[in-house]
Amino acid sequence: MAHTAGLSRWERRAIVAAFALTAALLLAATWVPSRTGLEGKVADRPGVVQVRALDAYGGASDYPFQRMPLRVEVTMDQDATAGEVLAVFEAYDSAIDGGGLISIDVTLAGPKRAVLSTGEGVHGTREAAQELVVAQADGNVATYRREAYPVLPLVEVDLVRGGFDEVVAVADRYRSVEDLESVSVASGRFALVRDAGNEDQRITDARQRLVQRVEVPLELSGAIVSGRGPLDLCIEPEDAQALKRLVGDDPESGTVGQVAVLRPSACDR
């Protein structure tokens, strides 16, 4: 991803969306599925609650005889199985390959609203479907979203409770997933972002280790850890000087880079 290094997540997504739109418009003259056809593919499948086919990029085509590419949003039962989720994605494989369908979002019903989104030529997999179901059943997961796209495939998880060690433990589950570029995990005022395509991972890892060393002895209130910008450490004002001394004496202080010591509320998300 060297050609997109230094760009934000949304800038890179905008670039790939522009290419996808151009390609889709070229294909639209030959074949674009209808809304009713797409919705009918899975409307009666086990576990499916609702299906909506929508314009992929909003608005109408400038060409009267051209049909715009579409996206599909599917809501499924909150206790849908991985097999049922995978069957929905597989039903759209040919439409994704044909270019007329840009993306598929599958959301499991319930307060968590766990989401798996694929598209732009990427198919849903059994592993991703299983991960969605596991996240839905995990009582410590507040929200979950995974996006499987050619540019910036990512997973975002918010936890109900836990400190920074719990955040790291969840993020570590995804280290072996090859098709993930960005992993974001948060719990309260603690957050960790690993973005392999837009950060120096050595900085992120050094900052992670620093937070793990100081969190307990100083009762750290929060930390926002990534490889971009400063490392935000949040603590009560009376403990700020002690934290600054620990950071200055830390063996990895040279790798960590800029550190901002802030009040606890600065780490609110």
Please say if the pLDDT value at position 205 is more than 50: yes
Q: What is the predicted pLDDT for the residue at 268?
A: 93
Please say if the pLDDT value at position 73 is more than 60: yes
Q: How many CA atoms lie within 13 A of 245 on its CB side?
A: 5
In angstroms, the CA 218 to CA 243 distance is 7
- Give the H/E segment covering residue 194: strand 190-195
Instruction: Using pLDDT thresholds of 50, 70 and 90, give the confidence band for residue 144.
Output: very high
Please say if the pLDDT value at position 7 is more than 90: no
Higher local confidence (pLDDT), 269 or 187: 187
Q: What is the predicted pLDDT for the residue at 192?
A: 97
Instruction: Give the residues across from 108 on adjacent strands.
Output: 76
Please say if the pLDDT value at position 157 is more than 60: yes
Higher local confidence (pLDDT), 74 or 180: 74
The tens digit of pLDDT for each residue in 26-60 reads: 544 445 678 899 999 999 999 999 999 998 776 44
Q: What is the predicted pLDDT for the residue at 28?
A: 47
**Positive or negative torsion for Cα 168, 173, 177, 180:** negative
Q: Smallest Cα–Cα separation from 138: which of 78, 48, 77, 183?
A: 78
The tens digit of pLDDT for each residue in 256-268 reads: 999 999 999 999 9
Average pLDDT, the chain: 87
Mean pLDDT of 113-130: 93
Higher local confidence (pLDDT), 2 or 204: 204
Residue 203 makes CB contacts below 8 A (sequence gap 6+) with: 227, 255, 256, 257
Q: What is the predicted pLDDT for the residue at 30?
A: 43
In angstroms, the CA 265 to CA 269 distance is 9
CA distances from 22 to 69, 76, 93, 100, 216 (A): 10, 31, 20, 12, 52
Q: What is the predicted pLDDT for the residue at 18?
A: 63
Instruction: Using pLDDT thresholds of 50, 70 and 90, give the confidence band for residue 212.
Output: very high
The tens digit of pLDDT for each residue in 93-113 reads: 998 888 788 999 999 999 988
Mean pLDDT of 171-176: 90
Q: What is the predicted pLDDT for the residue at 197?
A: 76
Q: Smallest Cα–Cα separation from 149: which of 241, 58, 71, 41?
A: 71
